[in-house]
C-alpha cells in the first residue's frame, strides 16, 4: 500500500542482482519482520503495552512509522533502508501484540495460514497480470480512503461499531495492494536496496490483510 518513490525508480547506479536473489531477499526481509512481530507477541506482556498512555502510544507509533518510511523510501543504502524497515516493524508489533491477545491462539494461527495462502496467490497474480493491477491502483486508493472514512464516521458520528462488510472490503483492498506492489517490485531495477524497500511496502500490505482476516474469523467464531 506504499505510495512512495520506491516503485518509481526506473534506473539505478547500484549493481543489479539476479531475479532469484532479488525475490529471495524480499522474502527474507519479510520473514524478519514477521519473526520480530512473533517474538514481540510472545515476549512482551500485553499488560505492559496497555499501560502506555494512549496519546503517547499513538504519537510514538506514527512518529516511528513515518520516520521508518522516510528512511527506506529516501535512502539508496540497503542498511539504512533496513533500519527504516525496523522502525515500522516495531510499533506495528506492539499493535499486533494487543490485537491478537483478544483472540484464541488457534484462530490466530488460522488467520496466519489464510494470510499466507492469499498473499502467495496475490503475488502470483501480480506477476502474471501487472498491468491489470496498475490500472486499478487509483480505485484501490480511493476505495481504502472511503472505507476508512466510513468506519471513522460510524464510530465517532453515529456511535456504532464497524460492520462486517468493512472488514471484508478492507481485506479485498489489501489483496489488491499486495498484487499491485509485488508487480511493481519486479518492474524496478533489481538491486539490494530496492529489494529491502519493496519488502517494507509489502510487509504493511500483508499485516493489514492479516489483521482484517483475524477480525473476520473472530466475528464468525
Handedness of CA 203, 34, 143, 169 (dihedral sign): positive
Q: Considering the entire predicted model, what is its pTM?
A: 0.90
> Any idea which residue has 489464510 for its cell?
114
- Per the CB < 8 A criterion, the answer to whether 139 and 170 are in contact is no
pLDDT per residue over 5-46, tens digit each?
565 555 666 789 999 999 999 999 999 999 999 999 999 999
As a whole number, mean pLDDT of residues 177-206 equals 95
For the chain, how big is the Rg over CA atoms in Å?
18
pLDDT per residue over 45-104, tens digit each?
999 999 999 999 999 999 999 999 999 999 889 999 999 999 999 999 999 999 999 999
Could you give the CA distance from residue 136 to residue 13 in angstroms, rounded to a whole number? 31
Could you give the CA distance from residue 30 to residue 51 in angstroms, rounded to a whole number? 29
Question: What string of DSSP letters covers 125-172?
Answer: HHHH-HHHHHHTHHHHHHHHHHHHHHHHHHHHTS--PPPHHHHHHHHH
Per-residue confidence (pLDDT) for residue 151, from 0 to 100: 75
Closest by Cα among 9, 26, 30, 8 to 17: 26
How do the domains of the chain map onto residue ranges? Answer: 17-220
Per-residue pLDDT band for 3 (boundaries 50, 70, 90) equals very low
Grid cell listed for 202: 509489502
Amino acid at each position: 500500500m506504499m505510495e512512495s518513490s520506491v516503485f518509481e525508480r526506473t534506473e539505478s547506479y547500484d549493481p543489479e542482482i539476479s531475479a532469484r536473489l532479488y525475490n529471495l531477499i524480499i522474502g527474507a526481509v519479510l520473514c524478519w519482520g514477521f519473526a520480530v512481530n512473533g517474538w514481540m507477541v510472545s515476549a512482551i506482556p500485553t499488560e505492559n503495552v496497555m499501560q502506555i498512555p494512549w496519546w503517547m502510544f499513538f504519537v510514538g507509533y506514527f512518529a516511528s512509522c513515518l520516520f521508518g518510511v522516510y528512511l527506506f523510501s529516501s535512502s539508496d543504502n540497503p542498511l539504512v533502508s533496513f533500519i527504516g524497515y525496523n522502525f515500522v516493524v516495531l510499533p506495528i508489533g506492539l499493535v499486533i501484540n494487543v490485537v491478537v491477545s483478544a483472540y484464541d491462539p488457534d484462530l490466530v494461527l488460522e488467520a496466519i495460514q489464510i494470510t499466507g495462502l492469499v498473499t502467495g496467490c496475490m503475488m502470483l497474480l501480480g506477476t502474471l497480470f501487472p498491468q491489470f493491477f496498475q490500472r486499478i491502483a487509483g480505485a484501490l486508493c480511493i476505495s481504502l480512503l472511503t472505507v476508512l472514512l466510513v468506519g471513522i464516521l460510524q464510530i465517532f458520528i453515529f456511535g456504532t461499531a464497524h460492520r462486517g462488510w468493512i472488514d471484508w472490503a478492507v481485506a479485498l483492498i489489501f489483496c489488491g495492494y499486495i498484487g499491485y506492489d509485488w508487480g511493481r517490485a519486479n518492474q524496478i531495477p533489481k538491486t539490494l536496496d530496492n529489494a529491502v524497500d519493496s519488502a517494507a511496502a509489502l510487509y504493511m500490505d500483508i499485516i493489514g490483510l492479516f489483521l482484517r482476516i483475524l477480525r473476520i474469523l473472530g466475528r464468525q467464531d
